[in-house]
Amino acid sequence: MQVTFHLPKVLASLAGSAQVQARGATLQEAVEELTVRFPRLAGRLTGPTGEPHEYLLFYLNDEDIRFLEGFDTPLRDGDEITVVSAVAGG
Amino acid sequence: MSSHVSHRRGVHPLFHSSDAACVGPQPGGPANTSLRPLTCSACGTLHPPAPTAVCPECLGPLEPSYPPDRPLPSTTALSRRPASLWRYLEWLPFEEEPQLSRNTGFTPLIEAPILAAALGVRRAWIKNDALCFPSLSFKDRVVATAINAARQLGLDTVGCASTGNLANAVAAHAAREGLSAWIFVPHDLEGGKLVATAVFGAKMVRVRGTYDDVNRLCSQVADHFGWGIVNVNLRAYYAEGSKTMAWEIAEQLGWRFPDAVVAPMAGGSLVTRLAKGFREVKEAGFTGDPLPRLYGAQAAGCAPIVEALHRGDGRIRPTIPRTLAKSLAIGSPADGAQAVRALRESGGWAAAVDDLALVGGIQLLARTTGIFTETAGGVTVAAALALARQGHLKLTDEVVLCITGHGLKTVEAVRSGLEEAPLIAPRLQEVEALITTT
Ligand SMILES: Cc1ncc(COP(=O)(O)O)c(C=O)c1O
Ligand SMILES: [Zn+2]
């Protein structure tokens, strides 16, 4: 599946752009594929055991992935993944 | 002036040019900032003042950094300063006294003996932030610090994602300081909150979705437009405003601590900062009392922080809010995990109350203290009652309840439960008739 990531400013510079394409059957795979292509993102999207980074929130289209299956959520072609800092709001 | 020069001008003297490069002041600002630098609370790296709340190294939250050897005032010196939150300047993220939003804070602390009896505690006080200026909620505190940060960083537009009170506060502070404001709120906010934002001339946008959807949008807005979104990219400065409530409680009690403090939770920032404020008062040597036990209050229809504490794992499970207490309706609280930790470490606890109980809480406060609070205050009073019944608040305790917003903002929450006033002709007999029937 081909999907689009929208990255926060603090990560965009590491990927060269705020919008990047990636491939994967699940969110986990897409995140892994992204970090292979942009090694400076390694450890900045995921935590020590490959889980979503504790200071980030991931949305698949408009849904917080914690309401779905987290990184195991299957992807469809054209999905939009928005990544934002968890240190915001309130 | 070349961009090179303008980049240098705002750099804090603490920083060498290589440090400055890692965050870098935004183009156009900051000029002559007195803002304190930022430290990452996760990895400890130091960064110059900037409209960013996130560590570029590890994505952790940035916090203002206070030199431990800075000169500190005595309690006598503090007592002579003007009655606003700025009297605690040495614990706020500015090296010099800022010029905007001068009259915020130092709200009344009022003893409430009838409420104490109802709770079954020794003494009770209301920290009455329903009278915080200019917009009648504790959010004036966080906006007072954030708007000064915005000005000093050279930003001319501020904004927020809000459950209502923050919208009122940003719109009011921005209006009187001549800044533009973009306010983003969930589509279903109470009429009072909408009017009390729009009246200030702010650009208000209703977003289809919950607060958490609004919040995500505002993270993108802050990145994209470079505005000072007070609770997003100015959050490091914003959050410090909350802790002045703890400082005021300690000073107004005569430099001592109560046994327990009960406060409402949405994003979890207030309780976390109350803990920080009380800790600072103690570290300053202004009291030898043990730190107060902190108790958090949420509505049962949106209680991710209470549930994480009660479950024991401290991990926030996001929730879709369903409650009358719209000001507390944050399903994915940014400071949720820190709030759980702060409550637990203080020896306190938390309670969630349903909508009926929160309406009862508004009425109980009104009828025992003469204070009219909004839904968040109703949640706080009802949670205090629940915590007292469960034995968390004790007969020997001195308790402070943080009442954080004014009741006229959410009249619809109580209106339906109140008896309708009888309608009569202007005749004495009709009053006599009323007296005999009641
Ligand atoms: C009146 C009132 N009290 C308390 C809170 C909770 O504050 P925090 O998000 O810091 O937990 C809010 C938040 O919007 C509020 O409007
Ligand atoms: Zn860091």
Query: What DSSP line would sit under B237-255, residue for residue?
Result: HHHHGGGHHHHHHHHHTTS
Residues A90, B333: C-beta atoms closer than 8 Å: yes
Q: Tell me the shortest Cα–Cα distance from B81 to chain A, in angstroms.
A: 30
The answer to whether residues B402 and B376 touch, using CB atoms and an 8 Å cutoff, is: no
Whole-angstrom distance, CA of residue B178 vs CA of residue A88: 25
Residue B161 has its nearest CB partner, among A9, A55, A89, at A89
Q: How far apart are the first and last CA of chain B?
A: 78
Q: Which two tokens stand for residue B381?
A: 């009073």
Q: What is the pLDDT of residue B13?
A: 39
Distance from C-alpha of B398 to C-alpha of B122, rounded to nearest angstrom: 6
Q: Measuring CA to CA, how many Å separate B251 from each of B189, B264, B275, B397? A: 36, 21, 15, 19
B21 touches chain A (CB under 8 A): no
> Do the domain assignments include residue A26?
yes
Contact residues on chain B for A88, CB-CB shorter than 8 A: 53, 161, 215, 218-219, 231-232, 235, 334
- Determine what percent of chain A is predicted with pLDDT higher than 90: 99
End-to-end CA gap in chain A: 35
Say if B334 is an interface residue toward chain A (CB within 8 Å).
yes
Give the CATH number of the domain where residue A66 resides.
3.10.20.30
pLDDT in tens, A54-75: 999 999 999 999 999 999 999 9
Which residues of chain A lie closer than 8 angstroms to B61, CB-CB? 55, 87
Classify residue A65 as exposed, middle or buried by CB count within 10 Å of its CB (0-12, 13-18, 19+).
Answer: middle
Measured in angstroms, how far is the CA atom of residue A86 from the centroid of ligand 2? 14
| Alpha-carbon span B101 to B132, nearest angstrom | 12
Chain A residues close to B334, C-beta within 8 Å: 86-90
Q: Do B216 and A66 touch (CB under 8 A)?
A: no
Pocket test residue of B139, B316, B324 for ligand 1, highest count of atoms within 8 A of CB: B139
Task: Identify the three-state secondary structure at position B314.
Answer: coil
Q: Which of B53, B161, B213 sits opposite A87 (nearest CB)?
A: B53
Instruction: Assess if residue A41 is contained within a domain.
Output: yes
Please check whether residue A78 lies inside any domain of the structure.
Answer: yes
Distance (Å) from the alpha carbon of B211 to chain A's nearest alpha carbon: 9
Give how far the C-alpha of residue B73 lies from the chain's centroid of Cα atoms, to the nearest Å. Answer: 25
Q: What integer pLDDT is reported at residue B438 of this predicted model?
A: 74
How many structural domains comprise chain A? 1
- Flag whether residue B148 sits within 8 Å of chain A, measured between CB atoms: no
- CA closest to A47 among chain B residues: B58
Q: Between chains, do A62 and B213 touch, taking CB under 8 Å as contact? A: yes
**Quick check: is A90 in a domain?**
no
B126, B128, B137: residue to mutate for ligand 1 pocket, most atoms within 8 A of CB:
B137
For residue B32, the Cα-to-chain-centroid distance in whole angstroms is 28
The angle subtended at Cα B142 by Cα B275 and Cα B343, nearest 5°, is 20
B267 CA from centroid of ligand 1 (Å): 7
Nearest listed ligand to the Cα of residue B404: 1
- The C-alpha atoms of residue A58 and residue A69 are separated, in whole angstroms, by 11
The dihedral through the CA atoms of B101, B106, B108, B109 has a sign that is positive
Instruction: Please answer whether residues B241 and B165 qualify as being in contact, where contact means their C-beta atoms are separated by less than 8 angstroms.
Output: no
Residue B419 phi, psi (nearest 5): -65, 135
**How many angstroms from the chain centroid is the CA of residue A17?**
14
Q: Rounded to 5 degrees, what are φ and ψ at B35?
A: -65, 140
> Quick one: pLDDT at residue B416?
84
pTM flag (> 0.80): yes
Which pLDDT belongs to residue B31? 53
Both tokens assigned to B195 = 């009017």
Helix (H, G, I), strand (E, B) or coil at B144: helix
Closest-approaching ligand to the CA atom of B267: 1
Is there a contact between B59 and A44 if contact means CB atoms under 8 Å apart? yes
- Alpha carbons B86 and B145: distance in angstroms, whole number: 9
- B344-363 b/e (C-beta count within 10 Å ≥ 16 → b): eebebbbbbbebebbbbbbb
C-alpha distance from B132 to closest chain A C-alpha (Å): 18
Ligand 1 binding pocket (C-beta < 6 A) is A 90; B 137-139, 163, 165-166, 264-270, 327-328, 376, 404-405
- Give residue B298's pLDDT: 99
User: What is the residue-level pLDDT of chain B in tens, covering all 438 positions?
Assistant: 333 333 333 334 344 333 333 343 444 445 568 999 999 999 999 999 999 999 999 999 999 999 999 999 999 999 999 999 999 999 999 999 999 999 999 999 999 999 999 999 999 999 999 999 999 999 999 999 999 999 999 999 999 999 999 999 999 999 999 999 999 999 999 999 999 999 999 999 999 999 999 999 999 999 999 999 999 999 999 999 999 999 999 999 999 999 999 999 999 999 999 999 999 999 999 999 999 999 999 999 999 999 999 999 999 999 999 999 999 999 999 999 999 999 999 999 999 999 999 999 999 999 999 999 999 999 999 999 999 999 999 999 999 999 999 999 999 999 988 889 999 999 999 999 999 987
Nearest to A53 among B59, B268, B330 (CB): B59
**Residues A89, B318: C-beta atoms closer than 8 Å:** no
User: Does the domain spanning B109-135+240-415 belong to CATH 3.30.2350.10?
Assistant: no
Chain B residue numbers touching A56 (CB-CB < 8 A)? 59
- Domain encompassing residue A57: 2-85
A19 phi, psi to nearest 5 deg: -120, 120
